Structures are given as C-alpha cells and as structure tokens.
C-alpha cells in the first residue's frame, strides 16, 4: 500500500483538484451531522464541527441551473471556446445533497431552450494539454 492511500489530505481546494486529476469526485462529510460538501469544507457550515472526512461521491446528480458562456476564462479559451463556440456552465445537485458548479457536456449550448432543469448528469473528467501541462477539469455529462 502506498503512502498516498493512508494519508489524509487536507480539506482544501488543492486536495480536491488533486483528486480531480485522479478522476475522483471527492466531498467532505461532517462526522457529526453527516452533511456532505463538494467543493470540500473543513468546517461544517451546518453544525460548525471540524470533524470532517473525505468521501467519494457517486458522481451522479441533476442539473439545477446553467448559463451559456460566450466569453470564458483563459483556460476555456485555450480549449477553443469563444463567442462562436460557447459552452455550458452549470450547477449540479449531487445525489449526496450538495451543489457544485462545473462544465456541462452532452447538451447543446446553441439550443438553451431545450435544456431542462433536472436533467440527470454523470461526472466526467475533461483532460486538456499534453505531458506536464496536462490538466483535468471537472465536468458533468448529460
């Protein structure tokens, strides 16, 4: 067994992103009230406990809201998204009861009227770049 599997990573965005790179959508769960948070929280907003643990989510959820993005951040422009090729940014309500924002794939950003709130989604990991520059982004596929 490697060191990695036995070490508890800090409940931080950096750990969360490290898990994303490993194709795991992780959340933190409060050991006192069992509420689950993704992105992770180190202190429970519900009961203020600091006793959190990492749990892997099912990766399933539904679309709770979305926006079509025509002018995104640099890392999206680098992937070829622009005014003529928009993408969908959504809020996903996970089965675990927490909401997370992510890119939504498998739906047509050119036909936003056909996109339905409540559409079932599954986690997807989008990789971009080569070698050292390779990055993995969280997405959900309809």
- Residues near Zn ion, by CB under 5 A: 30, 32-33, 44, 46-47, 49
Min. distance of Cβ 48 from Zn ion in angstroms? 7
The residue among 42 and 49 lying less far from Zn ion, judged by its C-beta, is: 49
Min. distance of Cβ 104 from Zn ion in angstroms? 29
Coil/strand/helix, residue 74: helix
Sign of CA dihedral 133, 4, 98, 30: negative
The residue among 43 and 68 lying less far from Zn ion, judged by its C-beta, is: 43
For 62, list phi and psi in degrees, rounded to 5: -140, 155
The residue among 21 and 47 lying less far from Zn ion, judged by its C-beta, is: 47
Min. distance of Cβ 37 from Zn ion in angstroms? 9
Beta-strand ranges (E) seen in 9-86 are 26-30, 36-37, 52-56, 60-69
Min. distance of Cβ 52 from Zn ion in angstroms? 8
**Helices and strands (DSSP H and E) totals, the chain:** 3, 8
Going by C-alpha positions, the residue among 16, 55, 14 that lies closest to residue 35 is 55
The residue among 96 and 124 lying less far from Zn ion, judged by its C-beta, is: 96
Min. distance of Cβ 12 from Zn ion in angstroms? 18
The residue among 23 and 53 lying less far from Zn ion, judged by its C-beta, is: 53
CA distances from 125 to 29, 42, 54 (A): 22, 24, 19
């Amino acid at each position: 067994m490697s060191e990695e599997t036995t070490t508890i990573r800090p409940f931080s965005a950096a750990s969360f992103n490290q898990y994303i790179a490993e194709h795991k959508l992780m959340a933190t769960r409060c050991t006192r009230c069992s509420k689950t948070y993704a992105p992770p929280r180190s202190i429970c907003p519900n009961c203020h406990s600091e006793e959190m643990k990492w749990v892997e989510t099912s990766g399933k959820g539904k679309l709770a809201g979305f926006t079509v993005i025509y002018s995104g951040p640099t890392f999206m422009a680098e992937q070829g998204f622009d005014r003529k090729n928009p993408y969908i940014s959504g809020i996903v309500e996970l089965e675990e009861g927490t909401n997370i924002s992510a890119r939504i794939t498998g739906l047509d950003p050119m036909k936003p009227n056909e996109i339905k709130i409540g559409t079932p989604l599954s986690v997807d990991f989008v990789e971009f770049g080569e070698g050292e520059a390779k990055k993995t982004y969280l997405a959900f596929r309809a």
